Amino acid sequence: MSDQRTPGSGTPLWGGRFEGALDPGILAFTNSLPFDRRLGRHDLIASLAHARMLYETEILSASDAEAILGGLSGMLDEVESGELGIEGPDEDVHSWIERTLGERIGEPAGRLHTARSRNDQTGIALRLYVRARIADLATRTAALQDAWIDRAAEHLETWMPGYTHLQRGQPISLAHHLMAHAGALEGDLARLRAAHAEAGRSPLGAGALAGTSFPIDPARGAALLGMESVYPNSLLAVSDRDYVAQTAFACALLMTHLSRWADEVILWTTSEFGFATLDDSVSQGSSIMPQKRNPEAAEILRGKSARAIGAVTSLLALLKGLPFAFNSDLQEDKEPLFDALDTARASLSAALALTGGLRFEPAKMAAALRGGMLTATALADQLVRSGVPFRAAHERAGQAVREAERRGIELWELPPATLAEICPETDPTELASALEPEAAGRAHASPGGPAPERVTEQIAAGRGALALTRGWLANLAEPPILRAQREDALLAESIE
């Protein structure tokens, strides 16, 4: 019987064991090339590193290594330029690489898979892909955080109600509110960095599950790819998808934060709130109601969070019952991961555009400071300063609220005599001044509070954290094997 694994033949990588042809329906059902073609570039980079390691450990001859590295390098250039499309009869991207390489260089292509399985090959390619996508998401998240911090710096003295239960609670500044959203993104950036590090453990060299009998150097393969470490256990190496779940979770929580922000954009741009308006560039209309200005991008952004959350659920359900080593179920990890990454990327771009088209209305925010008795807590605090226990002060402040509501006025508008009657321990003139919303907001100068000096500190801290993120991004170097490929130095004495 003829060898079913002649490089370039288009036959499966596992054909030697079988005599009959695979059912076309099963082939179509199990084929992953339509979605794992995304990994082509990263699989080629990993293959370059694997071939170089095989050459350095004298498993590959110089002539074979030169042919393989040259062929892979040419394929990578063409994939990156778009000249070479990843398509064909192959069941996965790994088969496509070996077939295409075989068509170009012949017999040496069959030696590339020495000391390697599709199991560790999939793992390393997916990890490289994830790390590249995380870097892109972190760049976009940092840009959005920067925009929100800049907007906050413009509104240190723009006062508005702070809400609990969607009811007016206490006066805060718009800057304080925006920095809360910016702080959530800072947490997202920390999770993205953690997921990037989690994906930085190389499984290359783990083989199918038990390593290999060849004298390989997995640490060298990892170093050539810019990975931080190597798995200590080959069985775990090919089974682990924690980095996939962690990346999807980072995307889902990022999307949850974007959804909460988008919900406020929707709420604040209603006529009922009027705290903000949207430019024409980020608004859409109605097919029947000519007056409408709808925040559809914000609504879709809010809705897309469900997709990212669903990806996490899908991945955890996929992983929960799998025995160790590779199972083909793991083929299903890619589509939810890809969708989560794509959704987060598109949503960050939309959120940045929405931020640029969002115009705040300070006069409407100031008007909303009236009508909610927002400084009742400030009244209780003033009484506590005068020696009244807080529970008694709370009761007295409630009495003042009832009286103000009965009269249809604000707390700070109560007549001095009324204030003196309810709060005899305080000076009514000073008390009325302290109950004005802006004064009450400025008085909340505890760490993290809305007082301008505290928000200024938050802005400085946020910009400091942003600088660290951008420093981390700037220090993310391309894999050394890729630099060597671009410098045509793949068989040079050393690749640092």
- The phi, psi pair for 133, rounded to 5°, reads -70, -35
Cα–Cα distances (Å) from 477 to 40, 79, 125, 225, 480, in that order, read 20, 21, 17, 10, 8
**CB within 8 A of 106, min separation 6: which ones?**
7, 8, 67
How many distinct helices (H) and strands (E) make up the chain?
20, 6
* Catalytic site includes residue 177: no
CA dist., res. 115 & res. 214, Å (int): 6
> Which amino acid is located at 419 in the chain?
L
Cα–Cα distances (Å) from 456 to 155, 163, 191, in that order, read 11, 21, 25
* Catalytic site includes residue 286: yes
CA dist., res. 372 & res. 167, Å (int): 8
**Paired tokens of 4:** 């079913």
Asked whether the beta carbons of 372 and 401 are under 8 A apart, the reply is no
Residue 345 CB coordination number (10 Å): 16
Buried/exposed code over 105-119 (b: 16+ C-beta within 10 A; e: otherwise):
beebbbbbbebbbbb
CA dist., res. 494 & res. 206, Å (int): 24
Q: At what angle do helices 93-105 and 40-56 cross, to 10 degrees?
A: 60
Q: What is the DSSP string of 64-75?
A: HHHHHHHHHHHH
**Paired tokens of 316:** 């955890």
SS3 488: coil
Catalytic residue among 63, 81, 165, 494: 165
CA dist., res. 51 & res. 204, Å (int): 11
Degrees, nearest 5: CA angle 144-147-148: 90
How remote is the C-alpha of 108 from its chain's centroid?
A: 41
Catalytic residue among 61, 229, 281, 286: 286
Of 340, 322, 344, 343, whose CA–CA distance to 331 is shortest?
Answer: 322
Residue 352 CB coordination number (10 Å): 17
| Residues forming a β-bridge with 170 | 162
Q: At what angle do helices 334-356 and 242-268 cross, to 10 degrees?
A: 30
* DSSP at 191: H
Which residues does the annotation mark as catalytic? Answer: 165, 286
